[in-house]
Structure 1
Amino acid sequence: MSTTSTSEASQLANSLNEFSWELYGHIGKDPSHDLFFSPYSIMAALTMTFAGASGNTAKQMSQVLRINEFIGNDVHSAFQELNDLILSPNALFTLKSANRLYVQKDYTFLESFLKTTKVHYQAMLMPIDFKSDAENARTEINSWVSEQTNNKIKDLIAPGVLDSLTVLVLFNAIYFKGNWLSQFNPKRTSFQPFHASSGESIPVVMMYQIGYFDYFEDKQLKCQVLSLPYVGNTLRMVIILPHPSINLTNLESKINMQVITSLGKRSRKQKVHVSFPRSNWNRVLI
């Protein structure tokens, strides 16, 4: 990989981080729902869409995606490089991403757009008939998403979302499966109180272990930061827990990507008692 391309991938990673936090600020406003989403997937889909944009639309999209500094197809080349870095084969965990364009079978797209999505995003073009049978198209698309996510997402598109006027549906599906580097013992799993941001205490199934993890407590922000690595020590889950004296919304208002980066750098390996809720996330954002 050339120095130039690596630099562009790094620059795009910074753009992705900024976009991620900005996106979270918009879709995470509803405190009545848990939220689980992949900014990487969303940015991949939008950057593919950006390949077909021009004029004021392209200008606004580049501002939202934080890719103003890229010229021409540089952003698409950078995304390809970033994909290669993130999705490189690894026997210790499974992380894969798939892109696909479903288009109305009698609709014509610019060859340059189709070439960009195929070369840089490996997005297959699939002709489909929204006009005559939108429900069958919905079933076919949901089947593909289910296959790409090992049946974890089975009904992404709800009935009525697609209709005879649909021309293009662009998808990015991402799938991850990994094991904790430090395993939780199932025998130590029990019901424990979970303190929601509303102040309510809810009994939930908690996993528990004692181990040495990267940990930091920020007295000023009043939060604890814990990093739980997966096998391979390449990927990790970072948990930010507010102090009982402040609610989650208050903490979120003080945090940005610079703060998160700083918290990570100040974390040190310490002996930590970890109680973590065993949970499933299932929410669709369209």
Structure 2
Amino acid sequence: MNSAVYLCLILLGLCTTIQGHHLEGHDDNTSANALKIYTYTAQFAVTLYKELSAASPGKNVFFSPLSISAIFSLLSLGAKSTTHTQILEGLSFNLSAIQEKEIHQSFHDIFSVLTRRDSQIQLDIGQALFLKEDKKPLQKFLDDIHGFYDAEILPTKFQEPAEAEKQINDYVEKKTHGKIVKLVNSLQEDTELVLVNYMFFKGNWKKPFDPQQTTERDFFVDQEKTVKVPMMHRMGWFYYYFDPELSCTVLQLDYNGTATAFFVLPERGKEKELEQSLSTCVLNKWAVHVSRHTANVYIPKFNISTSYDLKEPLIKLGIRDVFSDHADLTGFTGQPLKVTKVNHKAVLTVDEKGTEAAAATAVEAMPMSLPPTLEFNHPFMVLLYNTVTNSTLFIGKIVDPTEQ
């Protein structure tokens, strides 16, 4: 009988945004490897988004495809045979077009870029493995996870579940700056390995919204439900695009530094059509077509938190054996293991904040004619990218901004 593995993925996004780059932009210092997996990770983001959205009708959706891809790629280092192939192919990697070593090297290079301390955004990313005290990892596995993912391995007394839970939860709370508490609970005594991936993101808008312009306005959740939300407002120059084929407006908002966000507002009644048509080609089209125009923009100020057990969605994507008694994870310790649960948590905060140096709202010259109004007052999508590596940091759908 295989012993248990518990995967935990923790994401924090503390966000604010406006104006600028395209997704494909990157600087001269970026390793070519960091861009090799862009197409695959973008495809995985779209595929998993559709699964989670379909499984949670009428609910907010928010997660990090980069985080999930990274932790399962790390997991594949301990997997063999069909289990190994299913993990990588389930993450949308085409193993006939890219070598496995290139995948792991790409994640290594992406994380190196994302965690640069000279960046104007704060992005803390890391992996940790909590391993039962009497288990010894194989040397090759140790070399691989240190070399590619810089992951920690921490001995843990899983035979004392309460003590193990405290160790893991304290670690996560510290790494996420107190934003995620009590991540794990009800650990079983037969648990032998818990994998944790965390991401803490905090950015400031290039052009912050003026809090004095934030007013309470209606947000139409659906035909029956309307809620009051604090709506941020700014009139000025923005990058946006109306997609006539998908009947949606795409607004690009930039952070200071190397992150940008896309807010996608479908016309009412066109939400399902947008989700069904979503693809990497569509994302690239939006990035290319946004252009600078004046607009009168309203965006909700909100704070949402999501939590998922990803086992069933990942099984639907083809990652099956790792959750069954057929799992071959003998590359970890040489002994049988299987994954029992995959936890993923994410937090997204959108408000007016900018940097201290940008506390005053800049005055922009605008045409005399009244600009169009873009009001995000019904369900919309949000995507956050790193503009250097093309990495999809977060993707989601805001159905009800008042739902915590």
What TM-score, normalized to structure 1?
0.92
Q: 2:12 maps to which residue?
A: none
Encode CA deviations 1:18-52: one digit per residue, 9 max, x unaligned. 11111111122212321221111111110100111
Matches within 5 A, 1:1-286: 6-29=31-54, 30-67=56-93, 68=95, 69-131=97-159, 133-157=160-184, 159-160=185-186, 162-197=187-222, 200-232=225-257, 234-244=258-268, 246-285=269-308, 286=343
Distance 1:261 1:198 in 2: 32
Query: Matched residue of 1:192: which SS?
Result: strand
- For residue 54 of structure 1, what is the amino acid of its counterpart? K
| SS at structure 1 position matched to 2:208 | coil
Relative contact order (C-alpha < 8 Å, sep 6+): which is higher?
A: 2
What is the aligned residue count?
278
Q: Hey, which bits of structure 1, 4+ residues long, moved more than 6 A? A: none
Alpha carbons of structure 1 residues 114 and 202: separation in structure 2 relative to 1, 3 Å? same
**1:237/1:93 Cα in 2 relative to 1: closer, same or farther (>3 Å)?**
same
| Residue deviations 1:71-109 (CA, integer Å, cap 9, x gap) | 243321221112122222235221120111101111232
Which whole-Å CA distance do the structure 1 matches of 2:69 and 2:222 have between them? 28
Deviates more, 1:246-255 or 1:95-104: 246-255
Once residues 197 and 106 of structure 1 are traced to their aligned partners in structure 2, the CA distance between those partners, rounded to angstroms, is 54
Q: Distance in 2 between matches of 1:35 and 1:50?
A: 26
Q: Which has the higher strand share?
A: 2
Cα 1:120–1:226, aligned 2, differ >3 Å: closer, same or farther? Answer: same
SS at match of 1:184: coil
1:196, distance to aligned residue in structure 2 (A): 1.8
Amino acid at match of 1:116: D
Q: Which runs of 5+ in 1 are unaligned?
A: none
Q: TM-score, normalised by structure 2?
A: 0.66
Q: What RMSD in Å do the two structures reach over aligned CA positions?
A: 1.7
Structure 1 contact 222–242 (Cα < 8 Å) conserved: yes
> For residues 256 and 124 of structure 1, what CA distance do their matches in structure 2 show?
35
Amino acid at match of 1:32: G
CA distance in 1, matches of 2:51, 2:143: 32
Q: Which amino acid aligns with 2:285?
A: S
Cα distance, 1:111 vs structure 2: 1.5
1:33 and 1:139 mapped to 2: Cα distance? 31
Query: Which amino acid is 1:140 matched to?
Result: Q
CA distance in 2, matches of 1:8, 1:93: 22
Tell me which amino acid in the other structure corresponds to 1:252: E
The alpha carbon displacement at 1:249 in A equals 2.3
Residue 248 of structure 1 deviates from its aligned partner by 2.0
- For 1:28, what is the secondary structure of its paired residue? helix
Amino acid at match of 1:154: V
3-state DSSP of counterpart to 1:231: coil
CA distance in 2, matches of 1:194, 1:11: 40
Greater shift in the superposed pair: 26-35 or 166-175: 26-35
Note the C-alpha offset of 1:13. 2.0
Q: CA, structure 1 residues 110+261, in 2 after alignment: closer, same or farther (shift >3 Å)?
A: same
CA distance change for structure 1 residues 110 and 174 in 2, over 3 Å: closer, same or farther? same
- Residues 197, 248 of structure 1: 8 Å contact kept: no
Point out the more displaced range, 261-270 or 61-70.
Answer: 61-70
Partner Cα separation in structure 1 for residue 87 and residue 223 of structure 2: 35
- How big is each residue's C-alpha offset from its partner over 1:212-265, in whole Å with a ceiling of 9 and x where there is no partner? 111001122110000110113x21110110112x24222111111110110110
Once the two structures are TM-superposed, the CA of residue 70 in structure 1 deviates from its matched residue by 3.0
User: CA 1:72/1:203 → structure 2, altered by over 3 Å: closer, same or farther?
Assistant: closer
Long gaps (5+) in structure 2:
1-27, 309-342, 344-404
Separation in structure 2 between the aligned mates of residue 216 and residue 197 of structure 1, nearest angstrom: 24
Deviation at residue 53 of structure 1 after TM alignment = 0.8
